[in-house]
Structure 1
Amino acid sequence: MKGGWVYIMANRYRGGMYVGVTADLLKRAYQHREREGSSHVADFGKTRLVYAERHEDIEAAIAREKLVKKWRRSWKFALIEADNPEWRDLWCEWFPTAAHEG
């Protein structure tokens, strides 16, 4: 079975967040950056990839996404800030070649 990613997009430091799940993080993050695929992300400018976690099984990723979506904002902040305290846009770090395309 194919793995998956749980990810969080944000519009700014400690701002609005979007929690999602995908089998292809590069493609999905690119869609969000281009304001495609989710009207909520596009409408609120949540184009910064600030968190992502890999799961070997897509079903586990989906279950984790549903759980994280129910969390309090402060818990999501803590999750992000454990690895990314400055809320850097991970897109440029994780996908440097893609960051310079388009």
Structure 2
Amino acid sequence: MVFQRGGCVYILTNKLNKVLYTGVTADIVSRIWEHKNKIYPNSFTSKYNCDKLVYYLFYTHIEEAIAA
């Protein structure tokens, strides 16, 4: 039996809504927490302060989210 995990496509922006970032994750809650807390300080989202979630869409299979 193969365990399949769902996933989300999400879009973040910064405080002034000037920058957009699109990502894919299997755990939206943890991933947004990582963005807000700048866990990866050299990342695009940290550099441009993208931590405001403006859109997400859940897919049953992570492969669908990646393809989207």
Q: TM-score range by the shorter chain?
A: 0.7 to 0.9
Distance 1:58 1:31, change over 3 A: same
AA aligned opposite 1:33: K
Greater share of strand: 2
Higher relative contact order by CA 8 Å / sep ≥ 6: 1 or 2? 2
AA aligned opposite 2:52: R
AA aligned opposite 1:53: L
TM superposition score normalised by structure 2: 0.86
Identity of aligned residues (%): 36
Structure 1 runs (4+) greater than 4 angstroms displaced: none
| RMSD after superposition | 1.3
Greater share of helix: 1
- 1:61 maps onto 2:56 in alignment: no
Alignment of 1:1-102 (within 5 A): 1-37=4-40, 39-64=43-68
Unaligned runs of 5+ in 2: none
How many Å separate the matches in 2 of 1:46 and 1:14?
9
Unaligned runs of 5+ in 1: 65-102
TM superposition score normalised by structure 1: 0.59
Of residues 8-17 and 53-62 in structure 1, the stretch that sits farther from structure 2 once superposed is 8-17
Q: How many residues align?
A: 64
